């Protein structure tokens, strides 16, 4: 009788121990999403370390600490499917509802004809410039500089917003992929978040003096139309560090900074990254 009672007590203890372990496992399996679930939005995600994340069946990079990023383009679909597979094999599946944005129409007249309809020589330069930017955006480092958060890169008047349809000299062109900040020539431009300078170019045909910052995981910011560049390629910068000065280089009707942010090849709305 004593043996049977002892054995029953032992197995009862084991069952409780296993149940408690599974309970802890279930509690440990979690994720969180912070940011703007809307077109042009960026989501900062955290998940149980060692988990796998997919968005619409595409694998998402996850840091060893469980950080990941999700980006939604200008015309993102109203729904997106998030699938998380935890280290123990359990899964979480969520349908994300993506809010639609209404975009303005931006008309800019008085631009030099060669800046709107470039000649063959200028077209070659534009293609080369765009290729350099695309190659920089393909860099997907393991750094998580983006954890610093984003801040304004310059002080000035907002003269252009993300997503607006551009009508240049009466001709439709590609939508605006950033935010324009108008300010006097020489106004300081600072890094909007921690990162590494991934591209520096002194004379792009349309963009003028241009700098890009790699914030990790394929998240990049770009600073266009500068009057002066104050950084070197490969240089590490902290949020708020000087990177250049506002100008009117490239295709610009007045001194301003074009500030853009992208996750790999997906252009995002910089204003949605600000607190």
Q: How confident is the model at residue 118 (pLDDT cuts 50, 70, 90)?
A: confident
| pLDDT at residue 198 tops 90 | yes
**Mean pLDDT score of the chain:** 88
pLDDT at 114: 66
Q: Are strands 105-108 and 165-168 parallel, antiparallel or unpaired?
A: parallel
CA-to-CA dists, residue 18 to 14, 22, 96, 109, angstroms:
6, 6, 34, 71
| pLDDT number for residue 269 | 97
Contacts of 89 (CB under 8 A, 6+ apart): none
Confidence (pLDDT) at 6:
41
Instruction: Read off the tokens for 188.
Output: 């300081």
pTM for the full model? 0.85
Rg for the chain, CA atoms, rounded: 24
pLDDT value at residue 104 = 78
At 129-151, the pLDDT tens digits run 999 999 999 889 999 999 999 99
Q: Which tens digit of pLDDT belongs to each residue from 208-256?
A: 999 999 999 999 999 999 999 999 999 999 999 999 999 999 988 899 9
| CA separation, residue 65 to residues 9, 21, 184, 259, 264 (Å) | 40, 22, 43, 29, 21
Please report, rounded to a whole number, the percentage of residues in the chain having pLDDT higher than 90.
Answer: 73
- In the prediction, which pLDDT does 23 show? 40
239 Cβ contact list (under 8 Å, min separation 6): 148, 149, 150, 151, 190, 191, 192, 193, 194
């Amino acid at each position: 009788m004593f043996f049977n009672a002892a054995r029953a007590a032992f197995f009862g203890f084991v069952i409780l121990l296993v149940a408690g372990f599974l309970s802890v496992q279930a509690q440990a399996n979690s994720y969180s999403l912070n940011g703007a679930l809307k077109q042009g939005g960026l989501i900062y995600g955290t998940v149980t370390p060692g988990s796998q994340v997919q968005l619409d069946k595409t694998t998402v990079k996850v840091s060893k600490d469980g950080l990941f990023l999700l980006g939604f383009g200008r015309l993102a679909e109203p729904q997106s499917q998030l699938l998380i597979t935890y280290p123990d094999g359990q899964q979480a599946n969520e349908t994300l509802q993506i809010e639609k944005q209404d975009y303005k129409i931006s008309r800019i007249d008085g631009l030099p004809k060669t800046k709107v309809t470039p000649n063959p020589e200028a077209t070659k330069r534009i293609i080369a410039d765009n290729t350099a930017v695309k190659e920089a955006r393909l860099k997907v480092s393991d750094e998580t500089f983006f954890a610093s958060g984003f801040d304004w890169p310059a002080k000035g008047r907002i003269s252009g917003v993300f997503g607006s349809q551009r009508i240049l000299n009466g001709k439709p062109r590609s939508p605006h992929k950033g935010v324009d900040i108008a300010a006097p020539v020489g106004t300081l431009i600072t890094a909007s978040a921690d990162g590494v300078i991934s591209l520096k170019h002194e004379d792009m045909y349309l963009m003028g003096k241009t700098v890009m910052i790699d914030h990790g995981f394929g998240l990049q910011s770009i600073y266009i139309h500068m009057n002066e560049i104050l950084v070197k390629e490969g240089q590490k910068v902290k949020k708020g560090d000087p990177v250049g000065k506002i100008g009117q280089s490239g295709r610009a009707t007045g001194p301003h900074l074009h500030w853009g942010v992208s996750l790999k090849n997906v252009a995002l709305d910089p204003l949605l990254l600000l607190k």
